[in-house]
Amino acid sequence: MTSDTLVFLAPWRIFVSFVSLSRATVVVLLGLMLGGCATSEYKTHYGLFTAESASGEQRQFRVYWQTVRYQGWKSNEFRALPVILETQCSKRVLRFYDDSFGKGLRCNDMDGPGISYCGKNRMDTDRRGLKIQENQTCAAITDKQGATDILALEGELIMTISCRPKETEHIVSGKKISTDYLLNSEVPYVIATKSVDGEDIEALVPPLFNHSSVCEKE
């Protein structure tokens, strides 16, 4: 067979091979081919601050979120990931969502758009320690411009906490595990934030100091 024949038969051979592949394999191949034509750019936003936790201890807090710009064939598309609030020494993480995440992640008592953490009645109470409704609004975030979606957040965050953890710690295998978080307050917390290009949160956002010398109680 001559090289000319090989050139002529190559497209036909490729077509037959493509048809013989499973549907799942075809989808993967198409994804790989199309993936080369689009890019994504991450921006990480974060703030660190010190305040009192629900158990009355001075703790560090870390709040962060990411926005993503997808650059495709036709236009740019923007998406946001949840806003995360972490507490020094605690395993409890609060996640704030907006309307873009769908009704399943919205608080039942919200009557308009907003960025909120929805409380769980098995884990949270109101500020007086009373039972709350499931998925009741327990915390909310905006900024000085009144943003109601995560993509619009910029500058200083304004965070309101209206619930408390039902238990600030529990025992696992004889060891105390903190489930504490930021103390509820009628006065909103104002949190300065920074924005940096990149996706790796642990490399871009300073960690909380969770050394045993601070976290372990005698």
What confidence score (pLDDT) does residue 5 get? Answer: 38
Q: What is the pLDDT of residues 186-203, one digit of tens each?
A: 999 999 999 999 999 999
> Dihedral angle at the C-alpha atoms of 121, 125, 131, 137, nearest 10 degrees?
-70
**Banded pLDDT at 218 (limits 50, 70, 90):** low
Place of tokens 């060891």: 175
pLDDT over 60 (residue 135)? yes
What confidence score (pLDDT) does residue 39 get? Answer: 85
pTM for the whole structure: 0.81
Higher pLDDT, 170 or 137: 137
Q: Report domain extents, the chain.
A: 3-35, 39-215
Where in 31-185 does DSSP place strands (E)?
Answer: 39-52, 58-71, 76-80, 83-87, 93-96, 115-119, 124-126, 136-143, 157-161, 163-165, 169-172, 175-178
| Contact by Cβ (8 Å): 109, 195 | no
Nearest to 216, CA basis, from 57, 61, 54, 62: 57
Q: What is the pLDDT of residues 43-81, one digit of tens each?
A: 999 999 999 999 999 999 999 999 999 987 667 899 999
Question: Strands 76-80 and 58-71, how do they pair?
Answer: antiparallel
CA dist 49 and 163 (Å) reads 19
Residues with Cβ within 8 Å of 203's Cβ and at least 6 positions away in sequence, in order, are: none
